[in-house]
Structures are given as C-alpha cells and as structure tokens.
Amino acid sequence: LGLGEAAILWGATIECIVHFKECNHEVNALFNQPKSINIASARTEFPQSDSWNGILLGTVSSPGEADLARELVLRWNPQVCIITCGRKFSRRVTSRLLTGTNYRDTHRRLDFFCRHVDFGGVTAHESTVVHFSLLELDLERETIMTGLIELRRSLQTGLDDTRGNEGSFIYNNVPEQPLPGEFLPPHAIGFVIERNTFGGVNEIRRPVYDGSDLGPDLSRAGCSDRQFWVLA
C-alpha cells in the first residue's frame, strides 16, 4: 500500500498490484488503488513483455516473496525495478532476485538504507532498498537517491489511515507495565486488556504506543502483534 500511495503521488498510473498471500481488498476501502490479484491471474491478464516502459515496485519480507518478485521481473522486463527488503535480508539473500537472469550484464544495481520515519512514515520500520535500472538509461546516482526531507510526523497523524475494530474496547486507558518475563516491544509504553466481543467474549493483552512517538515495525511483527492500541 505504501509503495502504491507513493507511486500515485509521483504521478504514476498503477496498472496492476500482485499479492503473495494476502489480498488488499478489505483494507483497500481506505485507498484509491486497484484490487490486488494473485500470481496466476497476473500471468493470464498481463502477458509477458520483451520490454516494458514502466517501473516495478515491490516489498519482500520472505524468500517466497523474493521468488515472486523475480518471476514478475523476468516476465515483464521493466526499465526500472525498486524492491524494499526488511533489514533481516542480507545482500546475498536479495541476490536471489537476479538468479537465472542476465541483469548483471544489462542493469545497474544500487542498494541503500531507508528508515520509514525519514520519509513521512509513522513506524520504526527500517529497510534496504534495491534499485535496478537499465544501463542504457544512464541514470545519475543523484536522480536515484532521494534526498532526506523533513517529513517526520508522529503515529497520531497516521490514524486517519487505519480502521478501528468496532467490536473491541479496553477496561482502562492507563497502560500497565509489563508482567515479570513479559517482553515490551520497542516504542511501546505498556499494555492494556482488550475485550473483544466478536465470536464471544475474548480478553487479550495488547501493547500500547504513544501517539506522539512511533508505531512498531510491522514487518517484524507476527499477525497477532500487528494489532495494538494508541494513546492519543
């Protein structure tokens, strides 16, 4: 979603969004982007190309996603390919994006470090951006590397882009300190007991983040850890 929003702001037209496992159909109610399709649909609806005058943007957080990105690169042959990889991915692992290709002979590769917060993000996410471009484009490094601009904002400013769970509430808006042996995620200020009324009544202990600070790095969080509360 983040790359799609950036592409729209840059004036690009999104032709297709391909998902690995989870589609964007539900969360897309908040975004003006095409509904994502799986790789099988992408193979059918978007035929192979010898040269595509376009840009492929992707996010990789697992070897399977790296393989999917590689297949799309080989299939569509974009002039520029920009892939963001979590910090846990080494250069050797990201090199699987090039396996079986002649990209080393035809493309220029640049890697650079990016923090979400430096570009207007509201989480602690950090990533490596891998940038491939055709050698014949002869792009200057200054053209590729985006200069740091003061776009910093707090977690509170990003809440308009989220959907709350209407069936959940908490007993107390004062965060509790961690229990003995309990791990407090970075940037979290404590925990609250959430009472969820969907499918019966369930009580879950959730982390709380200060709205004036940053949210968690969602790329490192499990599915259950991606749900949290914000102290506004």
Distance of alpha carbon 163 from alpha carbon 111, whole angstroms: 34
Q: Rounded to whole angstroms, how far apart are CA atoms 80 and 143?
A: 13
Give the pLDDT of residue 16: 85
Find out whether 51 and 12 touch, Cβ atoms under 8 Å. Answer: no
Q: Which residues contact 104 (CB under 8 A, 6 or more apart)?
A: 98
In a structure prediction context, what are the per-residue pLDDT tens digits for the chain, which is 232 residues long? 677 777 777 788 888 888 887 777 766 666 677 888 888 888 888 877 777 888 899 888 777 888 888 888 888 888 888 888 877 666 666 666 666 566 667 778 888 888 888 777 788 888 888 888 887 777 665 555 555 555 677 888 777 656 566 666 666 677 889 989 988 888 999 998 887 766 666 778 889 999 889 988 877 777 677 788 888 7
pLDDT of 199 reads: 60
CA-CA distance, 102 to 98, in Å (whole number)?
A: 8
What is the pLDDT at residue 189?
A: 92
Give the pLDDT confidence score for residue 190 in this predicted structure. Answer: 92
Of the candidates 5, 94, 22, 21, the residue with the CA atom closest to the CA atom of residue 57: 5
Token digits for 174? 């004062």
Q: Tokens 């102290």 label which residue?
A: 231
3 state SS of 190: strand
Residue in 49, 51, 48, 56 with CA at minimum distance from that of residue 16? 56
Distance set, CA 178 to CA 181, 184, 185, 189, 193 (Å): 8, 6, 10, 9, 12
